[in-house]
Amino acid sequence: MQFIDQSIELLKDNGYKITGPRVAVLNALATAHIPLSPYDIEERIPENIPVNVVTIYRVLDVFEQLGIVHRILTKHGYVRCDFEEKPGCHHFAICDRCEQVSEFVQKKECDTEMRIPSQCHFQSAGHFAEVTGLCEACSR
Amino acid sequence: MQFIDQSIELLKDNGYKITGPRVAVLNALATAHIPLSPYDIEERIPENIPVNVVTIYRVLDVFEQLGIVHRILTKHGYVRCDFEEKPGCHHFAICDRCEQVSEFVQKKECDTEMRIPSQCHFQSAGHFAEVTGLCEACSR
DNA sequence: GTTGGTGCAAAGGATTTGCAACTTG
DNA sequence: CAAGTTGCAAATCCTTTGCACCAAC
């Protein structure tokens, strides 16, 4: 599993420990196609090894700092970040009706940042773009 | 004041009434260069004609539906939208250190949506892009 | 005069914090 | 073993709701 393995690498590289709760949250995120709230994630974790919501909050904080997840403003809020994109650049298509989210990868040039007017003197580190509209299923 | 006048037009055109609280919130937003939470906005409204926070929440809901403001996930959250862009397309540069936000207008083609891989079959209606990094002042 | 908007009080959620106990490397 | 993590309880903060009163058109 690309996403899980790379996330674990990232945690190790930054001196974080690989714990049950962290792996459980990664598993929940890996299979999700819609944004998940901390409580959503709690529900998706097997009952035999429950993880406290407070812990999920803390795990997500770390994940967000490492760029493993990105939080968006839907009722449910965390989406996982693909690792195929240019670091720091993420593009999500969010369906206005069903809230399904898919990250689309911009293989070649992604020049959103190049387009910042030069007089802004803004030193960009990355970007998140949310495209809104209707997904294939909902537009029919 | 471009922003205020156009917002009032928009409210009228959609059958909303022009009330004291709505104008007060517009004024607060018009001069802000950082995202404002409902409570931030409350503080920026002159004490002689106070507006209840609950009302501010409701005003912001309407404004967001009309595209007058956009909410982002900073501690403080609402930024105003410029009217110069292509409808539904907004680009914000947010400083990681001071949280200063500036909307930059992409005058010519803005093809973020064109870049959605065609196999996604996503029918886009608009997009918001948040570019992160350091503003001029903070990068020195 | 109507309809929509506002304020107040209170309910409901979401998120954060402190601290003791437990795991990972 | 030490440092980092977790669970629990509770505090705190954010957001929403219901209802009576008020204001804009």
Q: Is the dihedral of CA B130, B131, B137, B140 positive or negative?
A: positive
The conformation of residue A43, written as its DSSP 8-state character, comes to H
Between B25 and A77, the higher pLDDT residue: B25
Residue A133's beta-bridge partner residues? A95, B124
Q: What is the pLDDT of residue B13?
A: 95
Q: Which of A72, A121, A136 sits opposite B122 (nearest CB)?
A: A136
A32 and A54 fall within a common domain: yes
Of all nucleotides, the one whose C1′ comes closest to residue A50's CA is D7
A105 and A38 fall within a common domain: no
* pLDDT tens column, B56-101: 999 999 998 888 888 876 655 566 666 656 667 778 888 877 877 7
CATH of the domain at B115: 3.30.1490.190
- Give dist(CA B136, CA B108) in Å, integer: 24
pTM: 0.81
Check whether B137 has a pLDDT greater than 70: yes
B30 and B66 fall within a common domain: yes
Q: What is the pLDDT along chain A (140 residues), one digit of tens a residue?
A: 688 998 999 999 999 999 999 999 999 988 887 788 899 899 999 988 899 999 999 999 999 888 888 887 765 566 666 665 666 777 888 887 777 777 776 655 566 665 676 767 888 878 888 888 888 888 87
CATH of the domain at B30: 1.10.10.10
Q: What is the pLDDT of residue B104?
A: 74
A10 and A61 fall within a common domain: yes
A25 and A68 fall within a common domain: yes
Bridge pairing between strands A69-71 and A78-80: antiparallel
Residue A95's beta-bridge partner residues? A133
Contact A8, A66 (CB under 8 A): no
A85 domain residue, yes or no: no
A67 and A128 fall within a common domain: no
B60 and B22 fall within a common domain: yes
From the CA of B19, how many Å to the C1' of D20? 20
- Give dist(CA B103, CA B79) in Å, integer: 9
Contact A126, A106 (CB under 8 A): no
From the CA of B6, how many Å to the C1' of D23? 23
Tally of domains within chain B: 2
Contact A41, A29 (CB under 8 A): yes
A76 and A96 fall within a common domain: no
B98 domain residue, yes or no: yes
Question: Residue type for B50, please?
Answer: P
From the CA of A49, how many Å to the C1' of D4? 20
Q: What is the pLDDT of residue A103?
A: 74
Answer whether any strand D atom is within 7 A of the Cβ of B73.
Answer: no
B87 touches chain A (CB under 8 A): no
Residue A108's domain comprises: 91-139
B85 domain residue, yes or no: no
B43 domain residue, yes or no: yes
B14 and B54 fall within a common domain: yes
Q: What is the pLDDT of residue A57?
A: 93
- Give dist(CA A19, CA B66) in Å, integer: 45
Answer whether any strand C atom is within 7 A of the Cβ of A19.
Answer: yes
A86 domain residue, yes or no: no
Q: What is the pLDDT of residue A25?
A: 94
